[in-house]
Structure 1
Amino acid sequence: MFDILMYLFENLVHSETEIRVDQDELTDELIRAGFHHDEIYKALSWLEKLAALQETNTTPYLSKPLGNGVNRIYTHEEQMRLDVEAQGFMLFLEQVGVLDASTREMVLDRVMEIDASEFCLEDLKWVVLMVLFNVPGKENAYAQMEELIFEEAEGPLH
């Protein structure tokens, strides 16, 4: 399923190709690309749920804004999916302003819906990018995330 999401993002969204709204055409294209129908259905459902998160003006996960210094405690299931490195990366993204509490929760929601036995930091980075791409008003955060993914660090990191 994650391979399909990556394929769609890289070939349709990230390449700035017009996204097809006809689900049958998109399904046919994905079948021609070698993906299985059941995995296509799961990926398209994942994307529909991501889009549904944007259809409301309310913050779907938080009843009130969290102040500075409040840390997210991960559930056991989330800890099983996101290792310590991934959790640290999420915290880093919040600290540098790429994610806020709401987009963090959207990322976690989508991560937990990925149907994969293994999930690594690189996968998390792509989920963050997909979520930010779909959140209106997060263009700067999306650009920052793109830089984190695509630009190689030059020289030693301090």
Structure 2
Amino acid sequence: MFDILMYLFENFIHSETEIRVDQDELTDELVRAGFHHDEIYKALAWLEKLAQLQESDQHPYLGQVSTSAVNRIYTQQEQMRLDVESRGFLMFLEQINVLDANTREMVIDRVMELDAKEFCLEDLKWVVLMVLFNVPGKENAYAQMEELLFLEPDGQLH
């Protein structure tokens, strides 16, 4: 399913191609690209839920999110999906104002809905990018995240 999301993001969304194609047309194209119907429907449902989260402008499980919240307590299931490095990266993104509490919760919600056995920091970065792309008013955060994703470190790492 994550491969389909990446394919859609790279070929339609990120390239600014018109995404308002018929769902049957899109499904046919994805089948031609080698994806299976059940995975396609899961990916499209994932994107639909992302749109719903964006429209509600608030994570359904939160009530009011405090912008002064310092720590986010992760459930056991979230900890199993998001390793320490990934959770640290989310905290870093909040500290540099790429994510706020609402967009962080949207990212976590979408990560938890991914049907993937393996999930790594690189995958998380793409989910963050997809979420920020879909949230109005987050263009600067999206651009900053895009830089973080594609930035290659200069020099030798120690």
Q: TM-score range by the shorter chain?
A: over 0.9
Q: Which runs of 5+ in 1 are unaligned?
A: none
Partner of 1:81: 81
With 56-65 and 2-11 compared, the bigger mean Cα shift is at 56-65
Question: Percent sequence identity over matched residues?
Answer: 79
Q: Specify whether residues 153 and 51 from structure 1 end up closer, same or farther in structure 2 by C-alpha distance, changes over 3 A only.
A: same
Moved over 3 A (4+): 57-62, 155-158
Partner of 1:51: 51
Deviations 1:41-60 (A, max 9, x none): 00000000001112235554
RMSD: 1.7
Q: Specify whether residues 57 and 150 from structure 1 end up closer, same or farther in structure 2 by C-alpha distance, changes over 3 A only.
A: closer
Report matched runs for 1:29-68 at 5 Å.
29-58=29-58, 60-68=60-68
Give me the TM-score of the superposition, normalised by structure 2.
0.94
Q: Which runs of 5+ in 2 are unaligned?
A: none
How many positions carry a matched residue from both structures? Answer: 158
> Is the contact between residue 20 and residue 26 of structure 1 (CA under 8 Å) also seen in structure 2?
no
With 65-74 and 128-137 compared, the bigger mean Cα shift is at 65-74
How far apart, CA to CA, are the structure 2 residues paired with 1:137 and 1:88?
25
> Is the contact between residue 60 and residue 102 of structure 1 (CA under 8 Å) also seen in structure 2?
no
Report matched runs for 1:104-123 at 5 Å.
104-123=104-123
> Is the contact between residue 86 and residue 120 of structure 2 (CA under 8 Å) also seen in structure 1?
yes
CA shift, 1:63, in A, is: 2.5
Partner of 1:21: 21
